[in-house]
Amino acid sequence: STEGILHFILMSSIVQILNNVIKCKAAVIWEPKTPFSIVEIEVAPPKAHEVRIKILASGICRSDDHVLSGALKVTFPIILGHEAAGVVESVGEGVTSVKTGDKVIPTFVPQCGECSPCIHPRGNLCKLNDFGTFVGLLPDGTSRFSYKGELIHSFVSTSTFTEYTVVHESSVAKIDAAAPPEKVCLIGCGFSAGYGAAINSAKVEPGSTCAVFGLGGVGLSAVMGCKAAGASRIIGVDINKDKFPKAKEVGATECVNPLDFEKPINEVLHDMTEGDGVDYSFEVVGHTDTMIAALTSCNMNYGTSVMVGAPATGSEITLPPGLIITGRVWKGTVFGGWKSRDSIPRLVSDFMQKKFTLDPLITHTMPFDKINEGFELLQAGKR
């Protein structure tokens, strides 16, 4: 449910460690519609079953921007960021899956391995998740972040816009020590969400026709997933034509801009497919109108439409049941359907073996103190 293709390299400057409390830089949001403030915070040591991580690189994601705009309702003050790679600095009592010095990716979708979604073969939204509820605290109901004695909330179990973060053990995956953090950080959200939407959630079939609505980082990853699955036709849909060349570079066979047509884009896609509609469609924007457009673009009998983009808090959709009763499948996906701690190491391994590339998803690399400029690029569609 994200759209980041810009990332930061977090270089720990002067970090103070006193009584095992780390003082470091973090980008804090105090209220919506305000810029990040880079301040010195205190990061408490990890408690039992927790891991403290030194963040090496973090991506910008559209979901973070939704918090800035007020579209996602969270508790402030808060440290955003959920697409990163780092190194374990220390672990709490009982942690067995990682140790100090391990290279890791924190994950906003935990995997405890014990709850019903973790056990179910089709489930991946662990009950320890903070996705959608946005409580902003660790599973024990507390936070490890503070600023001048004031509690700072975390974001979806991760909070990576800081030099150090603390996550529950269920929210961290050990990866190949040789993996470049400035690239594999994207596996923590954007790439996995889009790629998995095609591979896992839709189960795109060879020779099929697909349409991807929204060609940001997650949309491009969905295009890559459709191509990897063997789709013969992949139509990219976006109102920003500047995104078309990169979409074609990663696998789109053609691209269309809804603003170029007088008729609705779903009708355009039906015309392009001899009236059939596409076999699979993906909404990677997070807007209710494009969700309906994506649904109505797929075949009325056997088409499958997958919602990938995160909608604003409180969004609702009204549609006639006839759109579904004919056989269309409409479904959503979180983190591309991957079981996070099992899948992230494998995806990193696949990247290291050059089974896919992440380079097209990265448009800018910036220092941490330029984070506000990074979000301006995101909002301007230049990332």
Contact 21, 41 (CB under 8 A): no
Could you say which of 24, 189, 210, 226 is catalytic?
Answer: 189
The answer to whether residues 212 and 253 touch, using CB atoms and an 8 Å cutoff, is: no
CA 79 vs. chain centroid, Å, equals 16
Q: Out of 7, 66, 168, 270, pick the active-site residue.
A: 66
Please tell me the distance from the alpha carbon of residue 291 to that of residue 373, in angstroms, as a whole number.
Answer: 30
The Cβ of residue 76 has, within 10 Å, a number of other Cβ atoms equal to: 14
66 is catalytic: yes
The reply to whether 189 belongs to the active site is yes
Paired residues of 17 in beta bridges:
22
Q: Which of 61, 112, 118, 226 is catalytic?
A: 61
Catalytic: 170? no
R_g of the chain, CA atoms, integer Å: 20
Sheet holding 254-256, edge to edge: 254-256, 233-237, 209-213, 280-283, 304-307, 329-332
- The Cα 228–Cα 251 span in angstroms is 9
User: Which DSSP symbol is given to 31?
Assistant: S
Q: Which residue has the tokens 């996550």?
A: 167
Q: Is 364 an annotated catalytic residue?
A: no
- Using the CB atoms, write b or e for 344-374: b if 16+ within 10 Å: bbebbeebeeeebebebbbebeeebeebeeb
Check 1, 58, 63, 201 and give the catalytic one: 63
Please confirm, yes or no, whether 63 is among the known catalytic residues.
yes
Give the integer Cα–Cα distance in Å for 254 and 281.
Answer: 14
Of residues 7, 82, 153, 270, which has the active-site annotation?
82
CA-CA distance, 194 to 173, in Å (whole number)? 19
Burial (CB < 10 A; 0-12, 13-18, 19+), residue 313, is: middle
Residues annotated as catalytic are 61, 63, 66, 82, 189
